[in-house]
Homo-oligomer: A and B are copies of this chain.
Amino acid sequence: MVKVGIINATGYAGAELARLLYSHPEAQLESISGRSAAGKALAEVFPHLASYDLTIGEELGEVDFAFSALPHAASAAACAPLVRAGIPVVDISADFRLRDPAEYADWYGADHPAPELLSQAVYGLTELNREAVRQSKLIANPGCFPEGALLALAPAVKAGIIGPEIIVDSKSGISGAGRGLDLKYHFGEADESVSAYGLSGHRHLPEIVQELAAMTRGILSTCYAPLTAALSDGAVQELYRDFYAEEPFVRVVDSPPATKQTRGNNMCLVYPTVDARTEWLVVVSVLDNLVKGAAGQAIQNMNAMLGFAETTGLDAPAVYP
């Protein structure tokens, strides 16, 4: 049984990690930290986690594996000593997503707290980066917006069937608001994410993040790109189904999906279609921003890093309706 710790268990992503780990047969949540709430029981902060008998500490105790759900900058500072001590870490913040410390300083207005670790960090979109994730000790978990966009666009980009004028229009539930939505920030995330996978020729990516107060969880991304050759709906569907044939957490569907169909679980549903009149590809993807967009993806990465089946502890169906 792997002893797991969560740094900053008092935000939405940290609480969701705790929720999902409760059902994980190979991992045991042993230690949680969160300075403002240090000394309180987890159940006091999150009544829905009352099954845990854990007290929030100032610092993490001894663990075999750690997740960090701290905000950026604080997160790198907290992860660095663990990584140096040989403890594998998945960082949910953006701190290890960029490769270049100068670019980090540019985005965040401060020097990176652990620049020497940037070259070890692997961008943890498991579906597109599996081998590197398996061999890494430090994972930069993807942001929820690029997650949905990259899974929606990767098959088309890899197949070379679309031109560079890519538009991504994302709508998020309000639980995303804790993560400090900011247009520039998300441009940054998305751009880095895309270039990380050889999509670097595809830089035209105006993304508008629209926070819709009316749903709590979920991200729906609609992606538009011009096809470079005439392709039928059927051909595109087949290309997508082939691409994701072996993936347990991406399902290509044949009608527009709703965010509710993924609530609480680690699925991403992808619906590709062709606007025949204009010959543009339109792809809709949905996922739960707190699961596939954060905590579930992080556990999927842990599973890959530790040699477990990626679905371990993550196979519960969505809570619908």
Residues on A lying within 8 angstroms of B by beta carbon are 12, 15, 18-19, 22-23, 46-51, 165, 167, 169, 171, 175, 187, 203-206, 208, 210, 212, 214-217, 220, 222, 224, 226, 251, 253, 256-257, 260-265, 269, 275, 277-278, 280, 282, 284, 315-321
Contacts and interface: CB of A to CB of B under 8 A. Distances in A.
Given A50-B251, A203-B278, A278-B203, A22 B257 contact: no
Given A18-B317, A206-B278, A210-B222, 14 more contacts: A19-B320, A47-B257, A47-B261, A48-B265, A48-B320, A165-B226, A167-B167, A171-B212, A203-B277, A204-B278, A206-B280, A208-B284, A212-B212, A212-B214
A218 to B, nearest CB: 10
B47 A253 contact: yes
A187 B277 CA distance: 10
Contacts of A251: 50
A316 B203 contact: no
A186 to B, nearest CB: 12
Contacts of A318: 19, 48
A210 B220 contact: yes
B214 A321 contact: no
Contacts of A321: 12, 175, 216-217
19 contacts: A22-B316, A23-B315, A23-B316, A47-B261, A48-B261, A51-B317, A167-B167, A169-B222, A171-B212, A187-B277, A203-B277, A204-B280, A206-B278, A206-B282, A208-B282, A208-B284, A210-B220, A212-B212, A263-B319
A269 B220 contact: no
Contact of A169 (B50, B169, B257, B315): B169
Contacts of A208: 222, 282, 284
B275 A206 contact: yes
A161 B315 CA distance: 46
